[in-house]
Structure 1
């Protein structure tokens, strides 16, 4: 029997579905493995908490050796700062609209805070928000390495860092995100090389402006295996803590390293060769396609072919016939969208004998 199904069977009478199940022992192995990888290559780990949004998991990452955490927005940073995390990097080009300016200033008074920037306009807005306390805030210049997301050209990093310095902010270094490494298994190494090239160019640009970076920060889970050389000082993986089907397909993890799945119940079986699960877009998000599916059933080759808000359509391969009431372990394509849909995790281990509930503390904090 599949390991995830075995753990689920031990829990099934004690939980309601749909529910996110975390195998704490597998998760801890993932945390320790990443930390050991970083130590081997003389890198710092700054995990991205957007994947789990959970204070308890963040504490385990820091206890294992992480130098701090990465957040995706001000709200996430506030939740973790209130829980005692004192070294936070918001790896996003924040624009200080509404209440964000005062909130950033307050955070910078109590913790070591770094914020991503990729424009002079954002730098000036942050400096205006910080006022006479500008020297408390560190900024990290975001450069594009081929993902075509946010990020300035690498050769512009020095000019942006100088602009931050001129406004009294502290230019701490550079970062990038090699998102194009998720395109296919073959894309991972090439994206990591693009990342190294862009960061090297950015560091040279900073040096030309008379600035020595304290941090040269790289992501992500699919490419981290290849982020081991050159100027990189820090890695920011997020999904590694749980892993998912996408990372399995990319070769970034094995099936045995998946630490989160969703318990879903078969609620209808009237259509021949298909059942309906209580797992829809409100649980899994919308990542997927009819060709690769919208999530898979652990231990089988069955994949969800379609999702409505509360319905998951599961075509049944030959020899697999779960009846109404059967509870199945659904592995998401992408784990991050799943987390934001639940207030708590059901936490157990690979045997399913223990049961704890951990809050998803930063759920709903999107700005």
Structure 2
């Protein structure tokens, strides 16, 4: 991670802290590597934009070969559709309350729009919301593969697809989320195998009702390495891979040199022996972490943030020569990158040499519904 400190040193005096810094060369390598992996295994990439919420990065992913994007909600989809993205999958079991029905109808006019669904009530609600334009909306049935989040039992996926078809919606496939693969290193492969089994069962249930799934979609970054069963899976939906983070490094899903985002923070106080305070608190990093693993780390050292207040980061200093003084700017690598990005209006973009400096908007920041 020396490249992180080198880039930060080159930016000295040109940025305010706290600030999210992207190493664009590392990020582009991550994008290209994932696209190459997918091509090797005959899979489409549909990256989840919730990680970056940035139109510029989304275009880079599409330019590299992504077939479209995955969004987490209608608002994210609207932001990217307005920027010209025309193939969007909202991988979430949407309930079309309030204005969402109208918004979905508008999106379906300008994009090939797919939405997640995992129950019969939602199918009826979506069909009612779409009205005479139901055939514009493609639905992807979500099944549970062991994460115990949203998702129907795989064996009823076909029944849900048939119900959607009867209501005039267009059932195009199946998706799942192997979130339990993030618990530890050994869980990654096991969760991917659970995912493959669930998707295989769901495909059979589609066949039983006479529907052939166009898309069988798998996620996530921690499990994607093992999501290679192209006889079943047609696309992958990684999100965090674009930046990576400490959680993925601990899991073995990336190396530390593949982490493309860090938060720059300044030491603002050092009165407590063997501890300094940084201007990087929970409003910058979120509270992802624990006292055991910390809430972010200084690369190249054993120093981790042991506690966060809203605007304060508590950094105990390990034994040795690492003794940053007040005014020192330090890089903090987050445990989980997704909740960091949404805390900022823009991303500071440079390269590993710190030779350039751009600012990219976090375009979909604040869009939660």
User: Which band: TM-score by shorter chain?
Assistant: over 0.9
CA separation in 1, counterparts of 2:152 and 2:297? 37
Aligned to 2:40: 40
Shift of 1:247: 0.2
Shift of 1:213: 0.2
Shift of 1:357: 0.3
Aligned to 2:286: 285
2:361 to 351, 359, 364: 359
Deviations 1:22-53 (A, max 9, x none): 00000000000000000000000000000000
Aligned to 2:298: 297
Aligned to 2:215: 215
Shift of 1:7: 0.2
Shift of 1:149: 0.2
Aligned to 2:62: 62
Shift of 1:318: 1.1
Shift of 1:12: 1.6
Deviations 1:3-23 (A, max 9, x none): 101100000210000000000
Aligned to 1:243: 244
1:199 equivalent in alignment to 2:199: yes
Shift of 1:316: 0.4
Residues paired across the two proteins, number: 367
Aligned to 1:331: 333
Aligned to 2:73: 73
Shift of 1:308: 0.4
Correspondence list, 1:225-244, <5 A: 225-229=225-229, 230-244=231-245
Divergent runs of 4+, >3 A: none
Correspondence list, 1:252-263, <5 A: 252-263=253-264
Secondary structure of the structure 2 residue equivalent to 1:173: strand
CA separation in 2, counterparts of 1:239 and 1:347? 17
Shift of 1:80: 0.2
Aligned to 2:102: 102
TM-score by structure 2 length?
0.99
Secondary structure of the structure 2 residue equivalent to 1:297: coil
Alignment RMSD: 0.6
Deviations 1:171-198 (A, max 9, x none): 0100000000000001000000000000
Secondary structure of the structure 2 residue equivalent to 1:12: coil
Aligned to 1:152: 152
Secondary structure of the structure 2 residue equivalent to 1:347: strand
1:114 equivalent in alignment to 2:119: no
Shift of 1:227: 0.1
1:264 equivalent in alignment to 2:292: no
Secondary structure of the structure 2 residue equivalent to 1:190: helix
Deviations 1:208-231 (A, max 9, x none): 011000000000000000000140
1:187 equivalent in alignment to 2:175: no
1:142 equivalent in alignment to 2:165: no
Aligned to 1:309: 310
CA separation in 2, counterparts of 1:307 and 1:172? 45
Secondary structure of the structure 1 residue equivalent to 2:340: helix
Secondary structure of the structure 1 residue equivalent to 2:148: coil
Deviations 1:137-185 (A, max 9, x none): 0000000000000000000100000000000000010000000000000
Q: Structure 1, unaligned stretches of length 5 or more?
A: none
Shift of 1:249: 0.2
CA separation in 1, counterparts of 2:328 and 2:83? 39
Shift of 1:115: 0.1
